[in-house]
Amino acid sequence: MQTSLFTKPRDLFLDVVNAKDYVQIDSVSVMYQYLKNAVEKPLKMILLYGKPGTGKSMLLHKLHYDLSKHQKVHMIPIPIVDEEDFLRVLAQNIFGHAPREKMTLNRFLEIAEALSFANVPIVLLDEAQLYSASLMEKIRLISDARAVKFVITLHKTDNEDIVAKEHFQTRIWESIELKNATSDELKIYVQKKLLKANCFDVANMFNEKNMKLITALTRGNYRETNKLLFALFSLYCWHEENNPGAIRYNAIKPKWIEMAAIHTGLIHA
Amino acid sequence: MLNVKDLERRWFRYKLKSYIPYILGSTLALSVVIGAVSFFLLPGHTKSAEISKTAPEQNVSVVRQNNRPDAQENPTVLEPSMEFIQSFQTDLQDQETQRVPAPKAASSSSARGVLEALAPSGAAPAAPAAQPAAPQSKKIDESLSIKRNESQFDIAELLQRFKETSNANLGLFIARYYYDREEYVEAYNYALKTNAINNRIDESWIIFSKSLAKLGKTEQAKKTLRIYLQQSNSETAKGLLESLEKGTFK
Which CATH number goes with the domain that contains A96? Answer: 3.40.50.300
Cα-based angle A191, A209, A11 (whole degrees, multiple of 5) = 35
pLDDT digits (tens, 9 = 90+) for B129-167: 334 444 444 444 443 333 444 445 578 888 888 888 888
Which residues constitute the domain of residue B13? Answer: 8-39
A218 and A94 co-located in one domain: no
Q: How many structural domains are present in chain B?
A: 2
Name which of A190-199, A208-217, B97-106 the model is least confident about: B97-106
- Alpha carbons A54 and A46: distance in angstroms, whole number: 17
| Residue B196 falls inside a structural domain | yes
Q: Do B147 and A250 touch (CB under 8 A)?
A: no
A256 and A137 co-located in one domain: no
The count of residues in chain B is 250
Which residues constitute the domain of residue A119? Answer: 26-178
- Alpha carbons A179 and B130: distance in angstroms, whole number: 35
The pTM is what?
0.62
- What is the number of CB-based contacts under 8 A between chain A and chain B? 59
| Residue A92 falls inside a structural domain | yes
A11 and A76 co-located in one domain: no
Which positions in chain A have a beta carbon within 8 angstroms of at least one beta carbon in chain B?
A: 24, 26, 29-30, 191-192, 195, 198, 200-201, 203-204, 231, 234-235, 238-239, 242, 250, 255, 258-259, 262-263, 267, 269
A215 and A171 co-located in one domain: no
- Alpha carbons B134 and A230: distance in angstroms, whole number: 47
- Alpha carbons B146 and A31: distance in angstroms, whole number: 13
| Residue B31 falls inside a structural domain | yes
Contact of A17 with A57, CB cutoff 8 Å:
yes
Distance of CA B186 to the CA centre of its chain: 29
Mutate to test the interface with B, among A227, A234, A259, A267 (most CBs of B within 10 A): A259
- Residues β-bridged to residue A149: A122
| Residue A2 falls inside a structural domain | no
> Residue B246: in which H helix or E strand, if any?
helix B235-246
Residue A90 has phi, psi (to 5 degrees) of -65, -50
Name which of A6-15, A102-111, A122-131, B124-133 the model is least confident about: B124-133
In CATH, what number is assigned to the domain containing residue B194?
1.25.40.10
| Residue A230 falls inside a structural domain | yes
In chain A, which residues have their Cβ closer than 8 Å to the Cβ of B176?
A: 204
pLDDT digits (tens, 9 = 90+) for A254-267: 999 999 999 999 99
A164 and A134 co-located in one domain: yes
Nearest-Å Rg of the Cα atoms of chain A is: 22
Q: Of A126, A151, A178, which marks where a domain is finished?
A: A178
Name which of A41-45, A170-174, A184-188, B183-187 the model is least confident about: A170-174
Q: How many structural domains are present in chain A?
A: 2
| Residue B120 falls inside a structural domain | no
Residue A263: the pLDDT is 94
Q: Do B7 and A24 touch (CB under 8 A)?
A: no
Residue A169: the pLDDT is 59
| Total Cβ atoms within 10 A of residue A40 | 8
Q: Of A178, A211, A226, which marks where a domain is finished?
A: A178
Q: Any chain A CB within 8 A of the CB of B20?
A: no
